[in-house]
Amino acid sequence: MSQTIAVPSKTSTAVFPVLGAISFCHFLNDMMQALLPAIYPILKGGFDLSFGQIGLLTLTYQIIASLLQPVIGLYTDRRPQPYSLPVGMGLTLIGLVTLSLAPSYAFLLLGAGLLGMGSSIFHPESSRIARLASGGQHGLAQSVFQVGGNFGQSLAPLLAAFFILPHGRGSIAWFALAALGGMGILTMLGHWYKSNGHARAPSRKAPTRHASLSSRQVGQAITVLLTLIFSKYFYLASITSYYIFYLMHHFQLSTQAAQIDLFVFLAAAAAGTVIGGPIGDRFGRRLVIWCSILGVLPFTLVLPYVGLTGTICLSVIIGLVLSSAFSAIVVYAQELMPGRVGMVSGLFFGFAFGMGGVGAAVLGALADWTSIEFVYRVCSVLPVIGLLTAFLPNIEGPRLRARAVR
């Protein structure tokens, strides 16, 4: 790989073999990580878990990933680690085997924690590789990278429905083979990363904020972006962790049918991810954030009050619209702090994981206390937080004007 791929520059085109490889590894990583929520119905019955205990599993996984990702990103900004990615995939492998053999709830928590550690190492450095291979098309590269992960997440419910459910929890261990394959590809990507000169520590201090903004303005913009991530991932927690139970309880669907419907939502989310990055490159990332976070509000408000067909159709729209924001948010934040790509990627991926974990725990406890239907009514208003997009500074004017001239 490293012998045939040129070093990307600001004027080069995107290095699509590298983007394809890192996106495929993101697919494998997030597919394996998403097996945890996909097998919740199996774990709930097998270990007699409450919704609160299911939420704690998600919280353990996502809080560990949330806390470690920005720290790892900041460290690798200063001391690049080209071969850390296969290490992260190796931890995911161990986590899967632990989940497949766990004799008790405590070992389930351990397996979830190992998955979180693997994710925390994978995302900051893999996002950096995607940006290095972008050829300046940062939104496109982030979308290509992200769609792999989202498609992997969408596939997990089908794997749970048609492979793990018929063969039992122990069959999860077979996915260790996918982790081994990913480790091989990531080792080659680490070699490309190193041999093309990207793995050297920066020779001079890179700018830590956008040239036209003060440190205070950058801090305020980052706070707004993190708040938008909160609204997006708190809402998504209600889908990824409890949509199966909602469909089973509210519409009396079988576990397998509900997992297929979850796949439909996650596949729509994967498709939406592809849209957000290129549109942000062309028309501006603030516009994508506006349309994605706030634009989904009418559909989330209606979702708790429609029938099964309406629920599935609205879930597709919500997945398409809401998922388009993440690539735009990450690239916008990277442009706010151009010298901190790893830290910013780790912060936003980590915060997304953390909010998903907190959301799963809080919403699980709320479902135990009230009902799963009440959870969806509460979450339906979260996208109104998208109004905060108005406080984001316009840092894209020169880039968009230059693109219009061309």
pLDDT in the model for residue 208: 54
pTM comes to: 0.69
Dist CA 258 CA 248 (whole Å): 7
Residue 9 domain-assigned (yes or no): no
Query: Does residue 302 sit within a domain?
Result: yes
Residue 60 belongs to some domain of the structure: yes
pLDDT at 400: 55
Taking the C-alpha atoms of residue 99 and residue 158, their distance in angstroms, rounded to an integer, is 18
The residue type at 329: I
The pLDDT assigned to 177 comes to: 93
Buried residues in 349-370 as b, exposed as e (16+ CB within 10 A): bbbbbbbbbbbbbbbbbbbeee
Dihedral (CA of 291, 292, 297, 303) sign: positive
Phi, psi (deg, nearest 5) at residue 202: -60, 135
Determine the pLDDT at residue 92: 93
Q: What is the pLDDT of residue 15?
A: 79
Which CATH number characterizes residue 366's domain? 1.20.1250.20
User: Which residues of the chain fall short of a pLDDT of 50?
Assistant: 1-11, 199, 203, 404-405
The verdict on residue 10 lying in a domain is no
Asked if 73 and 347 count as a contact pair (C-beta separation under 8 A), the reply is yes
Q: Which domain holds residue 161?
A: 16-199+209-405
Count: domains in the chain: 1
Would you state the pLDDT for residue 101?
A: 92
Q: Is residue 1 part of a domain?
A: no
Tell me if 7 is assigned to some domain: no
